[in-house]
Structure formats: C-alpha cells, structure tokens
Structure 1
C-alpha cells in the first residue's frame, strides 16, 4: 500500500530538526554582508522570509576560506562574525522558522582581485568574468578546504543554525572537481568519476564527523552543468548514490548550471544582458555587451523545470530530496510531494513576494507574480531583491 502524499504545510523532520512545513527558502546570495560580517539588512532579509512562512531560510553564501569568496564582502567563519550570526539565527527563530547556512568554497568562481587571494581550481584556468587566472589546487589546498568545511559546521552550531547546506553545485570548487570539462587532473582527484567525486565526499564526511547529529546537513548537488563535456545527469545519479551510502547527508537539494560557464541553465527565463553590463566594472562592461550572449544564454522557463532530471535521482536513492526550480504555487508543491520529494525550495518567487508561502497556505489558488525576468540577478551588488517592486523601508 502506498504511503499518503505528504502535506507540504505540515511539520516535517529534516535530520534532527523539525521544520514547521516542507518549504525552504533557497540560498540566494543576498549581497548584504560587509567585511565578512552580518548586517542589520541581512537579518531583515531573512526575517522577512521567516515571517512570510518559510519552514527554513538559507543564508548564502558563507565561505569556508578567504580565497573561497566570490566577493570580499561575503561572510567568513571567524570569531568576529559569530555574534552577528547569532543575532540572525535568533531573529529567524523568533518568527518560528529554522535557518540554514550555506557553506562552501567558490574555487574557480572566486574573484581573486576582490579577495586579495589567488583563486584555486582543479586545473589551471582563465576565468573571463573576473579576467583572472585560477591556479591548480594542491593537496594542501584541498586538505585546508575540507578542514574549513568541518570548522564551518562546528561554528554554525555555535551560532545557532539548525542546518548547513554544503555547496556541491554550479562549478564552485567541489562541483568543478566533479566536472570533466573543468577537472583535467591526472592524480587521485581527476579522471574517473570516483576520483572526481572524492573531494565532495571528503567534505561531506568531514562535516558529519564535525557536527554529528546536532544539526541537519544538506548538500546542493548539480545534476547537469549545462555545457558540453560537463557533469551529466547519469554521473549525478552515481554521486548521489555514493553520498547516500556514505551516510553524511540528511537531504540533497538538486540543482543545475555553472556559474563559471553557463549560469542561465539554472535560472531559465530572460537573460538580462543590458542590466548585467550596467553593473560591471568598465573593463568588463564592453566584453559583456559584445560577447555576453554566449555566456548568458536564454532558456525557456516552465514550472518545475528541474523535475525531469530530479526524477532520475529520486528513482536511484531513498534519502530525502529537495526539489528546486520553478516551484511557484501549491500545484507545483503537491506535484513534488506526489513524486516522492520530501521538501521544495523556492528562490526568485520569494524575492518578489516574501509572504508568498503564507498566502498560498491561506489560499491554495495563489500564483506567484514572478515573471522570471532574472533582473534580480544583477541586484546582488547592491542587495538582492526583485527590482520590479518597491522594497520595504
């Protein structure tokens, strides 16, 4: 006899944590931290989403090392940062929601000019968006990154977080090792899928060893890089199986695309080329206008656009899965539950309407007002938001 379909608005356990519902505010880099520290604006951002009904909101992006930031303003796990992080978690808890910290290392996506540190990658490569060269990571670099994730997990507990989300997607460092297009190494971290998955598995195990079952551990895993020769769905199925067998994670959030090579493959919808060019530094602005369309490609939007690939992971593993990508209404949430996903994650729709979850709960026919113009992507430099609506004072 089949189990009844879960109610997306009923309480649900994620590892050791009880969430008030199965809807997670996905990590969207807020652009509101300063000098690696929490600001009142960052707290207000997450309080809005907590008050708006999310079962859990995710703080992005909390780097595990200074060279792992995409921007020097991003939060680092330092003693100086912990008081602000505690204020943030306490404020979110006051609204009845749980709160996760997304932890990771940007690798080849990091901006060395902003960070003042060289970027690292599986293999030496040029990054056009930052006009910089990433160096091949040494074994000492990788050991440092693994330990940095473990430290972040322990610090997250101290700061009052309910969960950490390990970033294994978008060709950030761990994801770039998974990708045969980016990873050209000849050692035990390159070549076979088992070798390319070594760093991701080592990171997840290190975090589990560090935190035990005191908080939930999830990971954001790419299913498809969206580029020829990149990480593919069949490889993602095997990596998900390994991560499940390792017992390091409480859930997987499934994603796609490459911040390094094809960012719009994740977002779908419009590619705001003109708006991106306007916020770029002058040396890069002209290049974006002339050649940006090759990098910012347009893909048609449809609701639940990652479901097709996510079904393959769902069929291969028993562990809880979080469906991301085009979740905008109750019908989509119910489809995810009916297909065996334990949680759904929402991002752009909640930037447009932070209270959308509460309104869908009260009126199941409510539809998101998000038009998938993706202009919110260009606002990360001044505070991530929907640029089509007036923001609260």
Structure 2
C-alpha cells in the first residue's frame, strides 16, 4: 500500500533536500535593472522563503543577451554574479532553497532591446519582437546550447540549488518542438524526434556542465494552446525521452504560448485594459482594438492542468511538479494523491507571500487569490498583486527597482 506523501514534509529533488514539497513557480519579477540584481529582487524572493516555501524560483535568467524578453533582464554576465550570490545567500538564510530558471526566449525575445533579431527555428512573424524572426543556423544552435551549459555552471557558482530549464511557452526550445513554428527540413525539423533534438541537446549540455552538483528541472509544455502546435500526444514521448536521457531530476508541466496564446496557461480573466496601459503606442492602440483576439479568457478551476498532467505522470517515473491552480492544502493533497512529488504555486503567493506558513499552522487556510490576472501586466513595473495595498507589501518598490546589489 502506497502512502500519500505529506506536502509539508522534507523531500529530495536530485541532490537537494527541500524543507517541504512546495515551490514558488517562476514569475518574471520585473525587478532587475540593467541586467543586474537589485535589492527589490532579493526582497521579492526572501518574502517567499520567509513565507514558508521549500524553494523559490528566480525568473527569468536568460542564457545570453540575445535571449532576453526585457532589456533589464538578468543574464549570466560577470557583472550579475555578485548580486546573484547575495540573492541566494539571503534566501538560504531563511531556510529555503532557490532555483534559477534558465533559457533563451527565441521568438519571444525583445529584438529591439537586445540589438539583434529574435531567433526561431523558421522565419516567423513575431508581434512581441515586432518583426520577422531569424531562422537559427547550426552555429546558433551550438552557441545557445553551450550558453545553457555556461548558465548552469554559473548558477552553481552563484549558490543556486537548482536550475529550471525553460522548454515551454514557445520560447526557443519550445518553438523547435512546435510543428506550427518549426518548418525546418534539416535534422532539427520534421519528425517529433528531430523537433525534440534541440531540447534534448540543451538538457544534455546542462547535465554535463553541472553533473549532480545541483538539481536540474525542466519546464515542458503539454499543449501550446494553438491549432497546429505542440500537443499532449507529442509531449508524452518527449517526457519519456528526457527520462531515458537521464538529464532531468524533475519535470514541471506547463501549457500555452507567450508568442501566440499567453492566457492559455493562466485561466481566469484576461486583463485587456491593464495590458494596454503598460505598453507604448502603437502597441497600446493595437491591444485596445484587437487585444481580445490575442488575450483570451478561459474558465478557471482548481488544479486545471491535472487532467493532462496525469497522462504524462502515468507514462514516466520521473518526479513531477504539478503547476496550475494549486492554491490551498486541499489542492496540494490532491497532487500528492495523484502521484506528483511537488507542487508549484504562483498567483496565490503573489497575493499572499506567507500563505504556506499559514497553511502549515492551519490546514483550512483559504487562498485570497481571485484569478483576475491583473498581476500579469505588472511584470513590466514590478510583479505584484494589485489588490494588495502597496504600503503593506513586502517587496514594495515599484517602477525603477531600488539599488544594485554588489
């Protein structure tokens, strides 16, 4: 008879022991400045560590300058390392582990800010990049693969306990997986095995770079949420290949496309007016006129990714992390009974950074998150729950973040 794990008990993920099975999911913070860590970014993650999570995830740390989605985003430069070390030390001081989400944004990259065209497997028009992407050459593929290895090594040097490699949301690795975006005819296009080649090579490079020094997670799409995209029937064999390759310690399952259907992951309301307000013209006008064609609303329900995730859960033995609509002790326990090793929380913790600590004190503690998704546009000015009074938040500088950490 199998015993259901206690979500609040310590658990191992690769070489790391977490104090519980609850992970603060990656949500881009918007709190770095000129690609360097700020005090606000440190305080943001300290709040979740102090609030009781087993591990918090720093998002999104691009593996190279041209892989950024924002001009202020941290990438693994020499100048960023001291600040990243200060961040990991501060989280460890609160008793939690800390992971760095690493990846290359590909067609989701900010081409203008990066000073180079956005990369994708095939030429594709990207509204985010505001132009046509550049098809990745074999040299680009080698360069970006090695950049992932370098990022993983630097993460270990900076004191991170884990890296989460981004294979979702139609960032570069995910766009290679997508039959809609990937129209290549070489060894990286066509069959699923070929389309998965880049993701598998990236994961192999990361494993070879750090061995068993830190945990290696992969964030894998189950469904792009667009016609002709990557879907569950292909996600299952990709998950099995990653398991066979021995490159992954745990798998976090996700969905949606930041490029083509960003609201598909989140479910709940689509905040059209709030998104329009944070963009300059003419993007603002475009969102006002046609935002509903791009930012769709989907009904919210607890554990909304579970139905698809359990199909991958049945196909692999890898420890798996359930994301999506995990908000309270009841949904955490559902995940444990379904055979997931960990849960990941995002919006509920943005509303209440200390929610895990309060759940530990009282299992009946409800989440106050209403899934309005108005937190999403705030990642341009400092990610937060807009329903919380700014004078009471624990990571309180909005707009230009406060102070480099060196």
- The TM-score bracket by the shorter chain reads over 0.9
Partner of 1:39: 38
What's the offset of the Cα at 1:129? Answer: 3.2
What's the offset of the Cα at 1:131? Answer: 1.8
Whether the aligned pair in 1 keeps the contact of 2:61 and 2:100 (CA below 8 Å) is: yes
Q: TM-score, normalised by structure 2?
A: 0.96
Pair 1:283 & 2:289 matched = no
What's the offset of the Cα at 1:363? Answer: 0.6
Pair 1:112 & 2:111 matched = yes
Partner of 2:298: 299
Pair 1:187 & 2:186 matched = yes
Quote the Cα distance in structure 2 between the aligned partners of 1:185 and 1:300.
35
CA displacement, residues 209-260 of structure 1 (integer Å, 9 cap, x when unaligned): 0000000000100000001100010100000000000000000000000000
Partner of 2:399: none
Whether the aligned pair in 2 keeps the contact of 1:129 and 1:284 (CA below 8 Å) is: no
Which SS does the other structure have where 1:81 is aligned? Answer: helix
What's the offset of the Cα at 1:101? Answer: 0.2
Which SS does the other structure have where 2:79 is aligned? Answer: coil
Q: Following TM superposition, where does structure 1 have runs of at least 4 consecutive aligned residues deviating by more than 6 angstroms?
A: none
Quote the Cα distance in structure 2 between the aligned partners of 1:117 and 1:45.
30
Which SS does the other structure have where 1:76 is aligned? Answer: coil
Ranked by relative contact order (alpha carbons within 8 Å, sequence separation 6 or more), the top structure is 2
Quote the Cα distance in structure 1 between the aligned partners of 2:312 and 2:364.
29
CA displacement, residues 48-91 of structure 1 (integer Å, 9 cap, x when unaligned): 00000010000000000111000111111011111000000000
Which SS does the other structure have where 2:265 is aligned? Answer: helix
What's the offset of the Cα at 1:367? Answer: 1.0
Range with bigger deviation, 74-83 or 121-130: 121-130
Quote the Cα distance in structure 1 between the aligned partners of 2:115 and 2:80.
19
Partner of 2:356: 357
Q: How does 1:17-96 map to 2 (within 5 A)?
A: 17-96=16-95
Q: How does 1:303-322 map to 2 (within 5 A)?
A: 303-322=302-321
RMSD of aligned residue pairs (Cα, Å): 0.7
Q: How does 1:240-255 map to 2 (within 5 A)?
A: 240-255=239-254
Q: How does 1:123-138 map to 2 (within 5 A)?
A: 123-138=122-137
What's the offset of the Cα at 1:116? Answer: 1.2
Which SS does the other structure have where 1:108 is aligned? Answer: helix
CA displacement, residues 238-283 of structure 1 (integer Å, 9 cap, x when unaligned): 0000000000000000000000000111000000001111111111
Partner of 1:326: 325
Quote the Cα distance in structure 2 between the aligned partners of 1:34 and 1:116.
17
Whether the aligned pair in 1 keeps the contact of 2:109 and 2:128 (CA below 8 Å) is: no
Partner of 2:202: 203
Q: Aligned pair count?
A: 392
Quote the Cα distance in structure 2 between the aligned partners of 1:297 and 1:260.
13
Quote the Cα distance in structure 1 between the aligned partners of 2:116 and 2:374.
30
Quote the Cα distance in structure 1 between the aligned partners of 2:360 and 2:372.
25
Q: How does 1:207-286 map to 2 (within 5 A)?
A: 207-286=206-285
Quote the Cα distance in structure 1 between the aligned partners of 2:300 and 2:161.
32
What's the offset of the Cα at 1:132? Answer: 1.8
Which SS does the other structure have where 1:204 is aligned? Answer: helix
CA displacement, residues 129-166 of structure 1 (integer Å, 9 cap, x when unaligned): 34222110001001000000000010001100000000
Structure 2 unmatched runs, 5+: 397-406
Q: TM-score, normalised by structure 1?
A: 0.99
Quote the Cα distance in structure 2 between the aligned partners of 1:200 and 1:130.
22
Which SS does the other structure have where 1:32 is aligned? Answer: coil
Pair 1:15 & 2:14 matched = yes
Partner of 2:404: none
Which SS does the other structure have where 1:282 is aligned? Answer: coil
Partner of 1:376: 375
Quote the Cα distance in structure 2 between the aligned partners of 1:367 and 1:121.
42
Whether the aligned pair in 2 keeps the contact of 1:66 and 1:117 (CA below 8 Å) is: no
Whether the aligned pair in 2 keeps the contact of 1:118 and 1:134 (CA below 8 Å) is: yes
Whether the aligned pair in 2 keeps the contact of 1:51 and 1:95 (CA below 8 Å) is: yes
Whether the aligned pair in 1 keeps the contact of 2:65 and 2:114 (CA below 8 Å) is: yes
Q: How does 1:147-162 map to 2 (within 5 A)?
A: 147-162=146-161
Which SS does the other structure have where 1:149 is aligned? Answer: helix
Structure 1 unmatched runs, 5+: none
Partner of 2:402: none
Range with bigger deviation, 283-292 or 143-152: 283-292
